[in-house]
Amino acid sequence: MARYKKLIALKEKLVLFFCDAYRKVKDILRNNNRLLQKYLWYGVVCAIFLVAFIWIIYSIYTITRLTREFALFHTDQKVITYNGRTFVRYDESPVAMTLVTDTQCDKCKAFLEKVRTYVDVYVPTAFVVGVRDIAREDDVQWAREHGIVAAPAVVFDDTIVQTNFYKRARQFFMRKGNSATFYPYSMAGIIPRHYKSAPPTDSGISIGSDDASVTIHAFMGLDCALCATQYTVLNALYKKYGARKLRIVYHFARQTAQADALHAGLICAHEQKKAQAYMARIFSRIVAWRAVKDADAVRMTYARLSNLDLNTFDACLADENTLSAYIDTDDHLFNQFGVTAVPVLFIGTQRFDGVQTYNILAKEIDTSLSKSEK
């Protein structure tokens, strides 16, 4: 309050000073005092010249400085020292990033610090614009909008796609809208334990009704003996519960050239609603088709045995858009959910690593069915 009163008093003094000066100049002009008028006009002209001189000097200084800076920063030098500071020139644009953590995860904070160090090395133009905690209700909706299912993660703006880092580690990103989410735990082999959502039900090769009470997401590999064992268990569960109660969605990892060729065949079998028969032949005869070099011949043989329309089957294999839609989605889900080894199963947000027995899964399915019936 005292400071405010002092400012008001100072303002009043300045107003009185300029008013008094104005009255004196007016009196001089009214009294026709030629000598004072002469000095007054001389003073005005000198002031104008002084201001013009200062402006010219300052303009020359500014132009010189800007020219020097332009020449300094438009050279091929990568490291520049200027005004006691060191500047490093990068060819990439600035990239905004948001760090995603989870306070319910004991290791997330420490791991996220390592990720920041890693990003600083490989994306030196990246800068942090915020930190999100998916354990807080305020950030849950934001996480859903960006497709984040677990922490830690880093969400970059769309500028990241122009960097060399994105080109080298593209398989660890998931793009959505104007952002790209980087899942470092996929690269580090760390298994997240806190999932905020289950894998999407509209992805992968599915068996069962779309409105089934329980959905199992099976992350598998076709060239995988353990996955063949897990498939046998899942098939037995499907026969027990039926299509109305249980739906199984399969996601397959990229493996050998033979396995990838059979994966393409399985996709085309799914397009004809006969994926179950085709998949049963693949998993029941792993040893046999591993020994055959001509994967295309094996693929066509299984298509005939599964009673597929061969013309439609061939057309599907030639349609790269159909195949890539399945394969790219599976790649993103493997990275998004941190699946680095198969088999891995999801029932809701519950994750099961390794081969699971019939009894363990049946118990979990029964629990989920009882919850859905309430």
Range of the domain at 117: 95-188
pLDDT of residue 365: 93
Query: How far apart are alpha carbons 251 and 227 in whole angstroms?
Result: 11
Phi and psi for 94 in degrees, rounded to 5? -60, 140
Flag whether 361 is in a domain: yes
Query: Is there a single domain that holds both residue 262 and residue 115?
Result: no
3-state secondary structure string, 263-289? HHHHHHHHHCCCHHHHHHHHHHCHHHH
CA-based radius of gyration for the chain: 36
Query: How far apart are alpha carbons 281 and 299 in whole angstroms?
Result: 10
Query: Is there a single domain that holds both residue 210 and residue 179?
Result: no
Residue 253 has pLDDT above 60, yes or no: yes
Flag whether 35 is in a domain: no
Q: Would you give the end-to-end CA distance of the chain in angstroms?
A: 65
Query: How far apart are alpha carbons 151 and 143 in whole angstroms?
Result: 10
Residue 190 has pLDDT above 60, yes or no: no
Nearest Cα residue to 206 out of 262, 283, 290, 269 = 269
Residue 32 has pLDDT above 60, yes or no: no
102 three-class SS: coil
* CA angle, 285 then 289 then 295, to 5°: 140
Flag whether 252 is in a domain: yes
Contacts of residue 101, defined as CB under 8 A and 6 or more positions apart, other chains included, come to: 108, 109, 112, 131, 132, 133, 134, 151, 152
Query: Is there a single domain that holds both residue 218 and residue 265?
Result: yes
In the structure encoding, which two tokens stand for residue 40, read together? 């007054």
Query: How far apart are alpha carbons 199 and 290 in whole angstroms?
Result: 30
Query: Is there a single domain that holds both residue 240 and residue 287?
Result: yes
pLDDT of residue 304: 94
Residue 95 has pLDDT above 70, yes or no: yes
Q: What is the CATH number of the domain that holds 300?
A: 3.40.30.10
Classify residue 255 as exposed, middle or buried by CB count within 10 Å of its CB (0-12, 13-18, 19+).
Answer: middle
Q: Would you place residue 270 in the very low, low, confident or very high pLDDT band (cuts 50, 70, 90)?
A: very high
pLDDT of residue 151: 75
Of residues 300 and 106, more confidence is placed in 300
Q: Would you place residue 54 in the very low, low, confident or very high pLDDT band (cuts 50, 70, 90)?
A: confident
**What rounded mean pLDDT belongs to the chain?**
83
Nearest Cα residue to 133 out of 194, 75, 217, 186 = 194
In the structure encoding, which two tokens stand for residue 138, read together? 């305020």
Percentage, residues of the chain above pLDDT 70:
85
Residue 42 has pLDDT above 60, yes or no: yes
Flag whether 89 is in a domain: no
pLDDT digits (tens, 9 = 90+) for 309-355: 999 999 999 999 999 999 988 988 888 787 878 899 999 888 888 88
Query: How far apart are alpha carbons 101 and 99 in whole angstroms?
Result: 7
pTM > 0.75: yes or no:
no
pLDDT digits (tens, 9 = 90+) for 159-175: 888 888 888 877 777 77
Query: Is there a single domain that holds both residue 299 and residue 343?
Result: yes
Nearest Cα residue to 197 out of 143, 250, 137, 251 = 143
Q: What is the CATH number of the domain that holds 112?
A: 3.40.30
Flag whether 193 is in a domain: no
DSSP line for 161-205: GGSHHHHHSGGGEEEETTEEEE-HHHHHT-----BSSPPPTTSSE
Query: Is there a single domain that holds both residue 218 and residue 351?
Result: yes
pLDDT of residue 177: 77
Least confident of 147-151, 193-197, 245-249: 193-197
Q: Would you place residue 185 in the very low, low, confident or very high pLDDT band (cuts 50, 70, 90)?
A: low
DSSP line for 199-247: PPTTSSEEES-TT-SEEEEEEE-SS-HHHHHHHHHHHHHHHHH-TTTEE
pLDDT of residue 269: 94
Query: Is there a single domain that holds both residue 239 and residue 175?
Result: no
Mean pLDDT value across residues 16-43: 66
Mean pLDDT value across residues 35-52: 74
Beta partners for residue 85, in sequence order: 82
Of residues 113 and 55, more confidence is placed in 55
Query: Is there a single domain that holds both residue 181 and residue 150?
Result: yes
Beta partners for residue 81, in sequence order: 86
Which helix H or strand E contains 145, and what residues bound it?
helix 137-145
Query: How far apart are alpha carbons 157 and 28 in whole angstroms?
Result: 68
Of residues 5 and 12, more confidence is placed in 12
Mean pLDDT value across residues 194-223: 86
In the structure encoding, which two tokens stand for residue 29, read together? 């002009």
Q: How many domains would you assign to the chain? A: 2
Is residue 308 a contact partner of residue 279, using CB atoms and an 8 Å limit?
no
Query: Is there a single domain that holds both residue 357 and residue 236?
Result: yes
Residue 118 has pLDDT above 90, yes or no: no
